[in-house]
């Protein structure tokens, strides 16, 4: 690991009644250690995973709309309000890496097309050799992972819901890529996800943002695992329970 921890700085400007400090998991954050090559952020929608990931990207100097340090496209770039209020501890400091958010991936692909049209020598090196728009969403995602994660320099990769575009089979392919690069010692990943498949990555540390604090949980403790397993074990029973009218409700 290169990024050892993130610390919330409390001082002037931290208004705990307003976003982003009003988010319970952020408000109670002190120092969060990173102890494995792969760390997952999990939690309910709106629990603050993207907010923290984006703040880390901001501190790294990565484009907060998605990209690395040299990607200056402004489309959808976020002002990452939490960014200036955290401190990152490194050993050693790395500057290489990438922030990927599924929702702005389209704009990132367009940005690469623009580079290609402005510079004939730009041949989509590192991106599979052709426009990401010419590949399906899932294919282009995987293409990016395959081509960018193999960097020879130590790199930090911040991924926000990478599973969004991936079929279950492609999520397994993604796990394989993750395994190869995490084992190389040159890559560290912090991944916000809702995928029970990705969360199964062996040796990963899982941080839950639920219940108003960030805490380490086991894979089988996550709601993602429990709900998916419960559903797949007995779908008919699960649905029966789910659709049962509440007391006082018309049948």
Ligand X SMILES: Nc1ncnc2c1ncn2[C@@H]1O[C@H](COP(=O)(O)OP(=O)(O)OP(=O)(O)O)[C@@H](O)[C@H]1O
What residue ranges bind ligand X (CB under 6 A)? 19, 23, 43, 45-51, 192
Of 113 and 210, the one with the shorter C-beta distance to ligand X is: 210
Of 19 and 231, the one with the shorter C-beta distance to ligand X is: 19
Q: Token digits for 67?
A: 């990209």
Residue 19 CB, shortest distance to ligand X, in Å, is 4
Of 151 and 160, the one with the shorter C-beta distance to ligand X is: 160
Of 46 and 235, the one with the shorter C-beta distance to ligand X is: 46
Of 149 and 209, the one with the shorter C-beta distance to ligand X is: 209
Residue 125 CB, shortest distance to ligand X, in Å, is 31
Residue 104 CB, shortest distance to ligand X, in Å, is 13
Residue 93 CB, shortest distance to ligand X, in Å, is 26
Residue 160 CB, shortest distance to ligand X, in Å, is 7
Of 50 and 96, the one with the shorter C-beta distance to ligand X is: 50
DSSP characters over the chain:
--EEEEEEPPSTT--TTSTTTTSHHHHT--EEE--SSEEEEE-STTSSHHHHHHHHHHHHT--TTSB-TT----TT----TTGGGEEEEESS---EEEEEEGGGHHHHHHHHHHHHHH-TT---TTTTTS-GGGS-HHHHHHHHHHHHTT-SS-EEEEEE-GGGG--HHHHHHHHHHHHHHHHTTSEEEEEE---TTGGG-TT-EEEE-GGGS-EEE-GGGSHHHHHHHHHHH-HHHHHHHHHSPPTTS--
Residue 208 CB, shortest distance to ligand X, in Å, is 11
């Amino acid at each position: 690991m290169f990024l050892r921890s993130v610390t919330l700085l409390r001082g002037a400007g931290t208004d705990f009644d307003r976003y982003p400090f009003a988010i319970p998991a952020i408000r109670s954050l002190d120092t969060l250690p990173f102890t494995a090559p792969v760390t997952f952020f999990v939690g309910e929608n709106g629990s603050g995973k993207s907010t923290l990931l984006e703040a880390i990207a901001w501190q790294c100097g990565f484009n907060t709309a998605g990209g690395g340090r040299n990607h200056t496209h402004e489309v959808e770039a976020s002002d990452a309000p939490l960014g200036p209020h955290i401190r990152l501890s490194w050993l050693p400091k790395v500057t290489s890496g990438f922030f990927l958010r599924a929702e702005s991936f389209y704009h990132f692909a367009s940005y690469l097309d623009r580079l290609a049209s402005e510079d004939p020598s730009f041949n989509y090196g590192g991106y599979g050799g052709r426009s990401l728009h010419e590949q399906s969403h899932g294919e282009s995602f995987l293409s990016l992972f395959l081509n960018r994660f193999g960097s020879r320099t130590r790199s930090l990769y911040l991924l926000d819901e990478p599973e969004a575009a991936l079929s279950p089979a492609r999520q397994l392919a993604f796990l394989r890529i993750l395994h190869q690069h995490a084992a190389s010692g040159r890559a560290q990943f912090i991944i916000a996800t809702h995928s029970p498949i990705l969360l199964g990555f062996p040796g990963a540390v899982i941080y839950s943002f639920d219940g108003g604090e960030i805490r380490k949980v086991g894979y089988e403790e996550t709601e993602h695992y429990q709900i998916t397993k419960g559903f797949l074990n007995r779908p008919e029973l699960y649905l029966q329970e789910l659709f049962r009218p509440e007391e006082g409700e018309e049948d």
